[in-house]
A and B are shown apart, each in its own frame.
Chain A
């Protein structure tokens, strides 16, 4: 075969090989992009951005009903006067949506098949279960502080729908300013990663007894994988107890004597 002819053949072979390679690369890209469409990994320990919470107190107030507003103004004035009403003065969980709105503590998000679980950094019952298995809300649910949550993925966003929250659960904008929702509250959250370790919780809170319109607000949480944070046990009830002994010498908790204005309940 003349040299020129052989060269043309080789060129054709190279071109074919290049086309095959391009096709393979395209398939590869497709596979990668498919993989990217998988829901992001939201698991980990998330610490609230408390500075942003503070900004939100004044930047985006809830649309309180006209007859509720004086109560809110009173709470704000009381705090300014040095007599804060303490939303968290009892040992109950924040409840929803205040947990997401005003907590100063971290939560741990766990993902397992069919379910997302959020563990609070306090008592064992400070927990949100989000069912991802397609079930609906129950028709006649028992009301709880955290309500009943069902979720699904909308692309890379986790959408959580929460109902069945007790009427006593606060809509709180700070630890000193909050109003009970008084019933029929509905919370929709769209949770997504703004950056790899920055989570935005876009909340839509509908509470017809106290709000004129659905309140849209966002809270920011950050995770710090390099620091290996864990959520910390801190049982609220334990503040009424001290380590002690029983008559057998067993280590038990005994009642904590209260001081002049409460040795522990300093502000209750």
Chain B
């Protein structure tokens, strides 16, 4: 992804992230308490209606590793936000910002991924206004 695309994606998320979070039928997720974790991608399901990433959360501070599922928007929305199917691949280690499942299960609605290079992967449902 070009730096320009990253900036664009980051900008649009700042602008419309609230709407995206509020509307994406993600009422099962707690939008008031976004969380961050580090982990390694195990599986990428690049499908509709929503993409999912299976993540192995790092063992940390006495807590053992665990498997999490992060749901995120669609291939179309992420592609228009500058992602490709290869932006996040099995084996990639990253920081994941997400809205946790309200029922306490190990899953969340993915908001942002920060790669070791410092690059942020974000997305927006609505491109910039014309």
State yes or no: do A and B come from one complex.
yes
A→B interface (CB under 8 Å): 47, 49-51, 53-54, 79-84, 86-88, 91, 104-106, 121-123, 174-176, 197-198, 222, 224, 227, 229, 231-239, 242, 256, 259-264, 266-267
Chain A residue contacts of B45, Cβ below 8 A: 238-239, 256, 263-264
Q: Quick one: which of B35-78 are within 8 Å of A by CB?
A: 43, 45-49, 52, 54, 67, 69, 71, 73-77
Kindly state whether residue B34 has any CB partner on chain A within 8 Å: no
* Residue total for B at the interface (Cβ-Cβ under 8 A): 38
Nearest A residue to B109 by beta-carbon distance?
A: A266
Contact B76 A197 (CB under 8 A): no
Q: What is the count of residue pairs linking A and B with beta-carbon distances less than 8 angstroms?
A: 124
B24 CB contact (under 8 Å) in A87, A175, A234, A260: A175
Taken together as a complex, chains A and B put the C-alpha atoms of A231 and B79 apart, in Å, by 9
Chain A residue contacts of B30, Cβ below 8 A: 82
Kindly state whether residue B91 has any CB partner on chain A within 8 Å: no
B80 CB contact (under 8 Å) in A47, A81, A197: A47
B75 CB contact (under 8 Å) in A79, A198, A234: A234
B→A interface (CB under 8 Å): 16, 19-20, 22-30, 43, 45-49, 52, 54, 67, 69, 71, 73-77, 79-80, 102, 105-107, 125-127, 130
| Chain A, interface SS category | loop
Chain B residue contacts of A242, Cβ below 8 A: 43
Taken together as a complex, chains A and B put the C-alpha atoms of A237 and B127 apart, in Å, by 27
Contact A234 B126 (CB under 8 A): no
A104 CB contact (under 8 Å) in B29, B54, B107, B125: B125
Contact B28 A84 (CB under 8 A): yes
Contact B28 A82 (CB under 8 A): yes
Chain B residue contacts of A259, Cβ below 8 A: 54, 67, 69
